[in-house]
Amino acid sequence: MKKWIRILTVVVLALLAAGPVPAADQEKETIRLVLVPERNIFDQEKKYRLLSDYLNKHLPFHLVFDVLSGYEEVMDQIVKEQAHGGIVGSFLVAHGVEEHDMTPLVRPEWISADSYYRSYIFKQAGSKLTKDVHSWKGTAIALVNRHTSAGYFFPMALLKREGVDDPEGFFSNIIFTGSHDAPVWMVARGLADIGAAKDIVFEETLRKRPELREKVEVLHVGGRFPDATLVVGPNVPDSVRNTLQSAFLDMDSTFEGKKVLNRFGAAKFIHSPIDDYGDVYQVVKDAGFNIHDMWVVGH
């Protein structure tokens, strides 16, 4: 018993010597950014924890990343000011700018020196399906979400260009998986005949599970969509907006920042002006939609 009393005394004295937690740390504002679940939620959380751990050493506020369950929930929380902003896909950027006055700030330039992604449409290797979309009639297709450039609008635009105006009647089943890695798994395992996803997550999935490489075959590649963009809502103060943007843009200027970026898979962060999103607007139009008539939140 005396031993435990001595240990407790040492701990208490150590805490007293350390002094109280600085008031500035106690009163730090929390800036919350929400993320779309473009990959397995645990992988997504792990990926962005690297950034938050680094950035919180350099920011005057506390930055939190939260991965949400769906694309619609991400937009809903930003619009309702339950989050200051988010890391979102290219369609949500264009929609957010057009309909909710959001501002795109930065996006990663990957180690490959590219800051864009493409859409892959793929089949199970060895199947008789071809690049001719009419050979897909009556099959099951695995898509991501109705609000993704690579995982929905590009395949819909391709189908429409080839005369398929009723995808629901054309396919035996349209499966929305919620993330970009899931269609790869579904096609590889024969749970869907055709899949669509962003190339970056497709290739990442095959690197992690190389045995899948022999089980899927890419049929179409298209689009050029800015990747993983940080957007903020219209009511975020300019001071917070500018501080956030500068913190991301300055990461590659320090040795520690470069190490974190490398582990994240990026060389640096770059500006992401709305002028870079031309392919997004085009593919939405080609798929037969009007971006101004679409809803993502409020229903």
Average pLDDT over residues 278-294: 94
Between helix 278-286 and helix 154-161 the angle, nearest 10°, is 50
| Coil/strand/helix, residue 258 | helix
Q: Which residue has the higher pLDDT, 130 or 18?
A: 130
Residue where the block lists tokens 């679940």? 37
Residue 104: pLDDT over 80? yes
Give tens-digit pLDDT for 119-166: 999 999 999 999 999 999 999 999 999 999 999 999 999 999 999 999
Task: Say if residue 19's pLDDT is above 70.
Answer: no
Round to whole Å and give the CA distance between 270 and 201: 20
**Residue (of 132, 167, 136, 139) closest to 153 by Cα position:** 167
- Residues 211-240 have pLDDT tens digits of 999 999 999 999 999 999 999 999 999 999
pLDDT at 64 over 90: yes
> What's the whole-number average pLDDT of the chain?
89
pTM listed for this prediction: 0.86
Which pLDDT band, with edges at 50, 70 and 90, does 40 fall under?
A: confident
Give the closest residue to 227 by CA, choosing from 111, 141, 122, 123: 111
Q: What whole-number distance in Å separates Cα of residue 249 and Cα of residue 267? A: 11
Residue 39 has what pLDDT?
78
Domains in the chain, ordered, with CATH? 30-111+227-277 (3.40.190.10), 116-226 (3.40.190.10)
The amino acid present at 272, given as its one-letter code, is: S
The residue among 119, 68, 70, 77 whose CA lies nearest residue 96 is 77
Continuous segment of H or E residues that includes residue 66: strand 62-67
Kindly indicate the confidence band of residue 24, based on its pLDDT and cuts at 50, 70 and 90: very low
Residue 4 — pLDDT band, cuts 50, 70, 90? very low
- The pLDDT assigned to 249 comes to 98
The yes-or-no verdict on residue 1 having pLDDT over 90 is: no
Higher pLDDT, 173 or 43: 173
Q: State percent of the chain over pLDDT 90.
A: 82
* pLDDT at residue number 26: 53
- Comparing 4-8, 191-195, 279-283, which segment has the lowest mean pLDDT? 4-8
User: Do residues 119 and 149 make contact, with C-beta atoms less than 8 angstroms apart?
Assistant: yes
pLDDT tops 60 at residue 167: yes
